[in-house]
Structure 1
């Protein structure tokens, strides 16, 4: 990931007024996303995947999807987005709002059937959505918005899958907010063919050539799904997500996008909204999105969500000593972090394919086989950031970002723990 220099100016989650008249990403702009690798054969464009419909039907649907209603009404569509019962499934539904809004506080709370998402019993199924962050909607355009929400009981208690609530508590702690924690998150993901659930570009039931030419590769035999990555990139920029880059990954059919630098709770909001956009784009392209940390067993790279992290003290003179103290704390809570860093991560963190062993904490300068990597520039300048390489691609960014802040800013080890760790871990570079 490119070095992180400064945080976004949009971290208050407002909508830039200057973006109101921007052109949405229409189906015509995404027409090139008709699949070439998959089993579906269609000339339909990105917005409508109608295999047997005639062109007139497709054109009428496109016209309706792209209607500009702003000359006729002040009403907008708000897409309420939340996290479902598995902890990684994204859900959403739409409602009409009487006029454009600029802040989540202007939006009403809403509810949904939690028994259908694995978040409430059937006899008391109502779950309440609290709007928390707003993004522009690249699918509908205009003043329409995407709304990141968290989830509560009717009595106002956060439900167990609401990890944002606890993260917001940690980030609002005066000690944490004074350190202005920055995050740069590298989200890896795998694109799968719809019917066979096999990576995009791979022969059905077979394997491509070994890893090597695919990372940041160019060419029809090396890059599979670039249009999806590019469409997602532009959708994120349109929405106001602080996306900082993308690249093809080591395993063919695997990609990465980076979000950040983001401040505090913003990091989780931006990653979740970026995941929602990616789900919608792959849905329209007829491709399956996988966040499995090891989608293909064997000599293939897994998928992680490396999290770059720094505090104000780390970024100032003498910051390298603060980083080493943070690494020391992280070493003492390795098991707690691993247990919160994603499901199936034991299949990925094997000590191979640029990972450390899940059972052993390690750190090093420029070492991608460690739990924590410190960059050469950080060592040279005596200040900077660290990279936690342990989180899996399906990790919850609210949990990971807040846990990093808690462990490195709020948590203090006991004297006994420090003495024991001193025997096991050397903090010499």
Structure 2
């Protein structure tokens, strides 16, 4: 039977709306037909006549399932590489597939490719070619087998990074010897909101209405408190399969909102892993018929926004005496507050209000165990005299290459 990734109630609603015109047969009617065919002797083997099992009266029969799950490895050495890149908005993900005919061990062994930049807002129509440079490889959890996902960045035909290519500059910074020697660790907490497809209203919320006030939903269980767990779990496992350094997940304060954590990741890996994890989440919500939102304040009013808190430490911070290094780093961050805010995501002013576990966008602050500050230091870091800091300002739609690299 096909696995259903969407919450049960919503999936049943989709089937009721969409499947009836295409296939008026019920499960009982189909079973009856199969029995009659078998009695007549027209289906002597499953190879000649196959029917997929259905789960309920509203079930659908998917004859493409076998083709989608074909294992190519016994028949060919070729595999499929899904080239992924960031589009012109700086937050949209694009991808396309190509066949690779020989085994590869490093991204540099993959061919460069091109795409129509005029269709993504990244090049003019009269000179639209943008070149994809493969940079990081992950296993493909959707196709399985030897197939891969490839994180790429983008260049002109002359080899210059295009303006939306933020990875190039971040990679330069992380390859600097001083930076390499400090082994910078990042732990990024990606929050997101799941929306109902047609109304763009959070999953589990009554259409045009509101659930009960915040409080019962954070890390909760139960049909009246947790909405979208199947999507979160499917994403968690798919990321682990792909090789994304995901370290956990939980339901968030606003119903229909979730979080997952990536890290600790070193240097440029932090950005690569966040972008691939976002792509995987987009694909899973696509299959589930749910809309993924990275808007930092998807619902106005007395509801939590969505951030991308970024935890950071260096080798010196993690060693004895590191707390003093952390405090110096916080001072340096305070001197560039406005510059950082401008690079921490679109619409962040709607989220950083000083309420709902945020600091005001206009004021820099820090504190120990204080979630209402710009920078939070954990109790354990204070106690041990070493550890890490948490920058709570980045929005859920921030570019991790920018936050960890040029302005990080």
Regarding TM over 0.5, the answer is yes
Superposed, 1:162-241 pairs within 5 Å as: 162-241=165-244
| C-alpha separation in 2, matches of 1:161 and 1:32 | 33
1:34 shift after superposition:
5.7
- Normalised by the length of structure 1, the TM-score is 0.85
- Say which of 313, 316, 319 aligns to 1:316: 319
Q: Which residue of 2 aligns with 1:14?
A: none
| C-alpha separation in 2, matches of 1:39 and 1:336 | 47
Cα deviation, 1:277-316, whole Å, max 9, x if unaligned, reads: 0000000000000000000000000000000000000000
| C-alpha separation in 2, matches of 1:122 and 1:175 | 42
| Cα distance, 1:142–1:121 mapped onto 2, change above 3 Å | same
| C-alpha separation in 2, matches of 1:131 and 1:371 | 35
Mapped pair 1:42 → 2:15: yes
| C-alpha separation in 2, matches of 1:71 and 1:136 | 18
Cα deviation, 1:221-273, whole Å, max 9, x if unaligned, reads: 00000000000000000000000000000000000000000000000000000
| C-alpha separation in 2, matches of 1:357 and 1:147 | 38
- Normalised by the length of structure 2, the TM-score is 0.89
1:147 shift after superposition:
0.1
| Cα distance, 1:50–1:95 mapped onto 2, change above 3 Å | farther
Mapped pair 1:260 → 2:273: no
| Cα distance, 1:33–1:43 mapped onto 2, change above 3 Å | farther
1:38 shift after superposition:
6.8
- Say which of 384, 389, 392 aligns to 1:389: 392
| C-alpha separation in 2, matches of 1:358 and 1:36 | 39
Mapped pair 1:343 → 2:316: no
Superposed, 1:28-427 pairs within 5 Å as: 28=2, 30-31=3-4, 33=6, 35-37=8-10, 40-42=13-15, 52-53=22-23, 58-403=61-406, 405=408
1:101 shift after superposition:
1.9
| C-alpha separation in 1, matches of 2:380 and 2:177 | 30
| C-alpha separation in 2, matches of 1:208 and 1:39 | 21
Runs of 4+ deviating beyond 4 Å: 53-57
SS at match of 1:329: helix
Which structure 1 residue ranges, 5 or more long, are not aligned? 1-26, 406-429
Cα deviation, 1:130-187, whole Å, max 9, x if unaligned, reads: 0000000000000000000000000000000000001011111111111100000000
| C-alpha separation in 2, matches of 1:111 and 1:224 | 40
| C-alpha separation in 1, matches of 2:136 and 2:299 | 35
| C-alpha separation in 2, matches of 1:347 and 1:83 | 24
CA contact (8 A) 2:253 2:304 kept: yes
Cα deviation, 1:362-399, whole Å, max 9, x if unaligned, reads: 00000000000000000000000000000000000000
CA contact (8 A) 2:140 2:242 kept: yes
| Cα distance, 1:208–1:264 mapped onto 2, change above 3 Å | same
1:39 shift after superposition:
8.4
| C-alpha separation in 1, matches of 2:19 and 2:169 | 43
Bigger mean CA deviation after superposition, 368-377 or 171-180: 171-180
SS at match of 1:274: helix
**Higher Cα Rg, which structure:** 2
Cα deviation, 1:78-105, whole Å, max 9, x if unaligned, reads: 0000000000000000000002322101
Which structure 2 residue ranges, 5 or more long, are not aligned? 26-50, 53-59
Q: Which residue of 2 aligns with 1:415?
A: none
| Cα distance, 1:139–1:221 mapped onto 2, change above 3 Å | same
| Cα distance, 1:298–1:76 mapped onto 2, change above 3 Å | same
Cα deviation, 1:174-226, whole Å, max 9, x if unaligned, reads: 11111100000000000000000000000000000000000001000000000
CA contact (8 A) 2:6 2:289 kept: no
Q: Which residue of 2 aligns with 1:10?
A: none
SS at match of 1:320: helix
